[in-house]
Amino acid sequence: MNYDEYIEKLRKYSSDEVVARLVSHFDKWKSDNTNAVELADSIERFFGNSWITSEETHSHLYRLWSSFKTQAILGIGGMTMNERLYWFGLSERFENASEPEQKVIYAKLCANT
Protein backbone atom coordinates (compact mmCIF):
# COMPACT_ATOMS: atom_id res chain seq x y z
CA MET A 1 0.00 0.00 0.00
CA ASN A 2 1.60 3.25 -1.11
CA TYR A 3 0.88 6.78 0.14
CA ASP A 4 -2.03 7.47 -2.20
CA GLU A 5 -3.62 4.09 -1.47
CA TYR A 6 -3.37 4.79 2.27
CA ILE A 7 -5.07 8.17 1.86
CA GLU A 8 -7.85 6.56 -0.17
CA LYS A 9 -8.38 3.95 2.55
CA LEU A 10 -8.63 6.74 5.13
CA ARG A 11 -11.26 8.53 3.05
CA LYS A 12 -13.34 5.41 2.51
CA TYR A 13 -13.11 4.01 6.03
CA SER A 14 -14.54 6.87 8.02
CA SER A 15 -16.28 10.21 7.63
CA ASP A 16 -15.17 11.24 11.13
CA GLU A 17 -14.16 14.92 11.29
CA VAL A 18 -10.78 14.02 12.82
CA VAL A 19 -10.12 11.51 10.04
CA ALA A 20 -10.94 14.23 7.51
CA ARG A 21 -8.30 16.45 9.14
CA LEU A 22 -5.83 13.57 8.96
CA VAL A 23 -6.56 13.15 5.24
CA SER A 24 -6.04 16.87 4.75
CA HIS A 25 -2.70 16.66 6.58
CA PHE A 26 -1.59 13.84 4.28
CA ASP A 27 -2.74 15.74 1.17
CA LYS A 28 -0.82 18.85 2.19
CA TRP A 29 2.40 16.94 2.82
CA LYS A 30 2.97 16.30 -0.88
CA SER A 31 3.40 20.01 -1.52
CA ASP A 32 4.88 21.27 1.74
CA ASN A 33 8.59 21.44 2.58
CA THR A 34 8.84 18.64 5.15
CA ASN A 35 10.50 15.30 4.50
CA ALA A 36 9.29 11.73 5.06
CA VAL A 37 10.79 11.48 8.55
CA GLU A 38 9.07 14.71 9.57
CA LEU A 39 5.85 13.34 8.11
CA ALA A 40 6.14 10.27 10.34
CA ASP A 41 6.71 12.42 13.41
CA SER A 42 3.71 14.62 12.65
CA ILE A 43 1.41 11.66 12.00
CA GLU A 44 2.46 9.96 15.23
CA ARG A 45 1.67 13.20 17.09
CA PHE A 46 -1.65 13.44 15.26
CA PHE A 47 -2.71 9.94 16.31
CA GLY A 48 -1.51 10.58 19.85
CA ASN A 49 -3.23 13.93 20.27
CA SER A 50 -6.47 13.53 18.31
CA TRP A 51 -9.64 11.77 19.31
CA ILE A 52 -11.21 9.75 16.54
CA THR A 53 -14.76 9.02 17.68
CA SER A 54 -14.54 5.24 17.34
CA GLU A 55 -11.75 3.29 19.04
CA GLU A 56 -12.15 0.63 16.36
CA THR A 57 -11.60 3.22 13.62
CA HIS A 58 -8.60 4.66 15.44
CA SER A 59 -7.04 1.22 15.87
CA HIS A 60 -7.67 0.20 12.27
CA LEU A 61 -6.28 3.41 10.78
CA TYR A 62 -3.27 3.37 13.10
CA ARG A 63 -2.49 -0.24 12.10
CA LEU A 64 -2.61 0.79 8.43
CA TRP A 65 -0.39 3.79 9.18
CA SER A 66 2.09 1.63 11.11
CA SER A 67 2.33 -0.77 8.18
CA PHE A 68 2.95 2.08 5.73
CA LYS A 69 5.46 3.71 8.06
CA THR A 70 7.40 0.47 8.50
CA GLN A 71 7.56 -0.28 4.78
CA ALA A 72 7.97 3.19 3.32
CA ILE A 73 9.52 5.44 5.94
CA LEU A 74 11.63 3.16 8.09
CA GLY A 75 12.81 1.37 4.94
CA ILE A 76 13.46 4.51 2.90
CA GLY A 77 17.24 4.33 3.26
CA GLY A 78 17.41 1.10 1.28
CA MET A 79 15.20 2.28 -1.58
CA THR A 80 16.08 3.56 -5.00
CA MET A 81 14.71 6.96 -5.96
CA ASN A 82 12.10 5.31 -8.20
CA GLU A 83 10.89 3.21 -5.26
CA ARG A 84 10.66 6.31 -3.07
CA LEU A 85 8.70 8.14 -5.74
CA TYR A 86 6.28 5.21 -6.02
CA TRP A 87 5.81 4.72 -2.26
CA PHE A 88 5.05 8.41 -1.73
CA GLY A 89 3.02 9.00 -4.90
CA LEU A 90 5.40 11.62 -6.24
CA SER A 91 6.40 10.06 -9.59
CA GLU A 92 4.30 12.36 -11.75
CA ARG A 93 5.36 15.47 -9.86
CA PHE A 94 9.02 14.46 -10.19
CA GLU A 95 8.76 13.71 -13.92
CA ASN A 96 7.18 17.11 -14.60
CA ALA A 97 9.49 19.06 -12.28
CA SER A 98 12.28 21.44 -13.15
CA GLU A 99 15.75 20.57 -11.87
CA PRO A 100 15.43 22.83 -8.79
CA GLU A 101 12.03 21.29 -7.99
CA GLN A 102 13.50 17.79 -8.39
CA LYS A 103 16.08 18.70 -5.73
CA VAL A 104 13.21 19.66 -3.41
CA ILE A 105 11.64 16.25 -4.00
CA TYR A 106 14.99 14.52 -3.37
CA ALA A 107 15.13 16.26 0.00
CA LYS A 108 11.48 15.43 0.74
CA LEU A 109 12.27 11.75 0.15
CA CYS A 110 15.53 11.83 2.14
CA ALA A 111 17.59 11.24 -1.00
CA ASN A 112 19.82 14.28 -1.03
CA THR A 113 22.49 14.06 -3.69
- Percent of the chain, pLDDT > 70? 99
pLDDT (0 to 100) of residue 112: 79
pLDDT (0 to 100) of residue 51: 92
- In tens digits, the chain (113 residues) has pLDDT values of 999 999 999 999 998 999 999 999 999 999 998 999 999 999 999 999 999 999 999 999 999 999 999 999 999 999 999 999 999 999 999 999 999 999 999 999 999 75
Tell me the whole-structure pTM to 2 decimals.
0.91
pLDDT (0 to 100) of residue 113: 53
3-state secondary structure the chain: CCHHHHHHHHHHHCCCHHHHHHHHHHHHHCCCCCCHHHHHHHHHHHHHHCCCCCHHHHHHHHHHHHHHHHHHHCCHHHCCHHHHHHHCCCHHHHHCCCHHHHHHHHHHCCCCC
